[in-house]
Chain A
Amino acid sequence: MREYIPVLLFLLAAISFAVITIGASHVIMPRKQNARKMAPYECGVEPVGSARNRFHVKFYLVAVLFILFDIEAVFIYPWAVAFRQLGLYGLIEMSLFILILLVGYVYLLKKRALDWEN
């Protein structure tokens, strides 16, 4: 695990860079604030209602489909690394796996889950 220590150090360095940059700008920037200035920007018109509004269900659908397919991709990674040891057995296994994946994919296409306009 020793080789992971530099990654952790890099993470700490990057975090401190971001925090110091924002902190420094907080110290030196001018502050002349009023209620008008702090209103959300809506092209100069008085903001109407809250922005914490409902949005289209399509975005949830895309997120759910992403999780499904991403988990499949996660299974393919170790297979690819160990591919030479697995030989023909591994190739056939993965063909079956991707075939099952394709059935689900065709189902999505037929259900028009991937069509944005409907």
Chain B
Amino acid sequence: MKALFDNPDFQLVFWALVKIAIILNGLLGLVSYMILAERKIAGRMQGRPGPNRVGPAGLLQPLADVIKLFFKEEFIPAEANRVVFHIAPMLAVIPALVTFSVIPIGPNFTVTDINVGLLLFLAMSSIGVYAVTLGGWSSNNKYALLGGLRSSAQMISYELAMGLSTIGVLLLTGSLSLVQIVKAQAAIPFFVFQPLAFLIFMITALAETNRAPFDLPEAEAELVAGFHTEYSSMKFGLFFLGEFTNVITICAVATTLFLGGWNGPWLPDSLKFVWFFLKLAALVFVFMWLRWTFPRFRYDQLMDLGWKVLLPLSLANVMVTGAAVYWIHNR
């Protein structure tokens, strides 16, 4: 038994599984309470109390929702492509979770430190597009198809600007590893040097997660519920979970890239993760605040903003940052 524990491969897998269990459970708990927080905040912003009947101050509401979703009957529309119909909701939630394997939560707490961490995030956010597109197409419903098409066009358009806006950070650190990027921000977080990139990243993050004011894929006034019109029971639940997990994941990446991750004053190393979660919560609150403040974009305005404003701006940001980094290094 002791020989097994001393085996480095066994140790690697064992500690990875422990960390994965902690992060996966913590993340899912965080997501369910974020949904409650969103409903509470939405209520407050509209002058009503929000859910407050299940448990003290509505705190058991997420549990009640999950149980309700499990016991709901499911509809699979006739002539739907059943295989794709089942895969799509899983694709909505898996990539958002997997990204957390490279995000440094505390000084010594990250599942793994790979030297292409940022690329893993971009790859996973690209896979998220498939969930929406395939879900919309496989339902054999016209509204769902239109919602899926709209959102795939929207997400790939904004992905360009998102990818390019992170390059400024790479120029400053010279590494794609998120752990290195956080360490490089020990003194000053990068949003000070990269304010434009931070702004572009947050705008594209809203579009990538299909949140208002970019929630055209599920514009309920015109497309019923968009790509998940035909989804019910736990498959709808997974789409819902995926959307909110994506918000948390993308805010966690923004925290890591621009706000200095777990870096912060006063706390000892073992408690630095509190800073990470405070910054994360602040960004998530901004997402909710925007949702209940701005009206939805029109589709041509949305595409114009992505292709004609954010893309050139992020390219210009890359060149200006490159020139500045070169100048500072060779002064």
* B98 lies within 8 A of A18 (CB): no
Asked whether any CB of chain A lies closer than 8 Å to the CB of B311, the reply is: yes
* A14 lies within 8 A of B304 (CB): no
* B326 lies within 8 A of A88 (CB): yes
With known contacts A14-B93, A80-B171, A98-B319, A3–B70 Cβ distance under 8 A: no
Asked whether any CB of chain B lies closer than 8 Å to the CB of A103, the reply is: no
Q: Which of A15, A32, A51, A84 contacts B174 (CB 8 A)?
A: A84
Could you tell me the distance between the alpha carbons of A32 and B16 in the complex, rounded to whole angstroms? 44
Asked whether any CB of chain B lies closer than 8 Å to the CB of A100, the reply is: no
Asked whether any CB of chain B lies closer than 8 Å to the CB of A111, the reply is: no
Asked whether any CB of chain A lies closer than 8 Å to the CB of B119, the reply is: yes
Q: Binding site of B, secondary structure by majority: helix, strand, loop or mixed? A: helix
In this complex, the interface size class of chain B, counting residues with CB under 8 Å from chain A, is: 35 or more
Asked whether any CB of chain B lies closer than 8 Å to the CB of A2, the reply is: yes
Rounded to whole Å, the gap between the CB of B147 and the closest CB of chain A is 11
Find the A residue at minimum CB distance from B176.
Answer: A81
* B319 lies within 8 A of A94 (CB): yes
With known contacts A10-B97, A25-B69, A30-B71, A18–B153 Cβ distance under 8 A: no
Give the residues in chain B near A95, CB-CB below 8 Å: 319
Given contacts A22-B86, A38-B76, 13 further A-B contacts (CB under 8 A): A10-B98, A11-B101, A13-B97, A14-B24, A14-B97, A21-B234, A25-B70, A28-B70, A28-B71, A51-B139, A51-B141, A58-B153, A88-B326
Name B residues whose Cβ lies closer than 8 Å to a Cβ of A.
12-13, 16-17, 19-21, 24, 28, 69-79, 86, 89-90, 93-94, 97-98, 100-102, 111-114, 119-120, 139-146, 149, 152-153, 156-157, 159-160, 163-164, 167, 170-171, 174-176, 224, 229-230, 233-235, 237-238, 299-300, 303-304, 307-308, 311-312, 315, 318-319, 322-323, 325-326, 329-330
Name A residues whose Cβ lies closer than 8 Å to a Cβ of B.
2-7, 9-11, 13-15, 17-19, 21-22, 24-26, 28-33, 35, 37-43, 50-53, 55, 58-59, 62-63, 65-66, 69-70, 73, 76-77, 80-84, 87-88, 91, 94-95, 98, 101-102, 105, 109, 114-117
